[in-house]
Amino acid sequence: MPNTAAAQRACPFCEIIRGASEVSLCYEDATALAFMDIQPVRAGHVLVVPRAHYERVDDLPRAVGLHLYDVATRLIPVIQQVSGTRDMNIVVNSGAGAGQDVFHFHVHLIPRAAGDGFDVPLPFPGSEMPDRTRLDAMAARIISAMRDPVAHATPAAAPS
Ligand code: AMP
Ligand code: ZN
């Protein structure tokens, strides 16, 4: 859903941001806020969220993305200290196919401990190691697209 008034009205994080629903805030500034996930993997599971409604990672202006990462890197050592665990997953689900449930961009900061039952299984057990030539070919395509992003627009960004 685009960044429309309707999208924002239906968005649980926009609701939090306009003060219309309960939240346990742990950080805020003019661009971003961070609050406790309502259904944490473990105590200390925090979401870092832009105040403006951007749905996906590719909707996010670069400066906002960099700011969110800056906030995350400042929160991480504090969460480690408060939760008493150094191990963490930093997770972004962008798009339904990637498991995104709330379509207001957010970064999960998840303290972890052995045996907690959560997992981001990488390497993915359902995949095989491709031939080096295929890895090289994809790397070359990315290098080329970095040089000429317009000519190599992604299917989602390309005009229909
Ligand atoms: P994702 O699959 O990355 O979109 O995850 C959405 C996350 O938002 C989940 O971990 C939910 O528990 C969390 N969540 C949903 N609604 C709220 C809310 N009102 N306050 C805090 N966290 C929420
Ligand atoms: Zn929103």
Q: What is the pLDDT of residues 9-41, one digit of tens each?
A: 799 999 999 999 999 999 999 999 999 999 999
Q: Are 158 and 89 within one domain?
A: no
Dist. CA 64 → ligand 2 center (Å):
15
Integer Cα distance of 13 and 15 in angstroms: 5
- Which ligand 1 atom minimizes the distance to the CA of 22? 19
Q: Are 114 and 135 within one domain?
A: no
106 catalytically annotated: yes
Q: Are 43 and 84 within one domain?
A: yes
Backbone angles phi, psi at 154, to 5 degrees: -70, 160
Q: Are 54 and 88 within one domain?
A: yes
Give the total number of structural domains in the chain: 2
For residue 20, give the ligand nearest its CA. 1
List the one residue out of 79, 21, 22, 18 whose CA is nearest residue 48: 79
* Entry pTM: 0.91
Tell me which residue range forms the domain holding 47.
5-123
At residue 68's C-alpha, the angle toward residues 90 and 61, to 5°, is 120
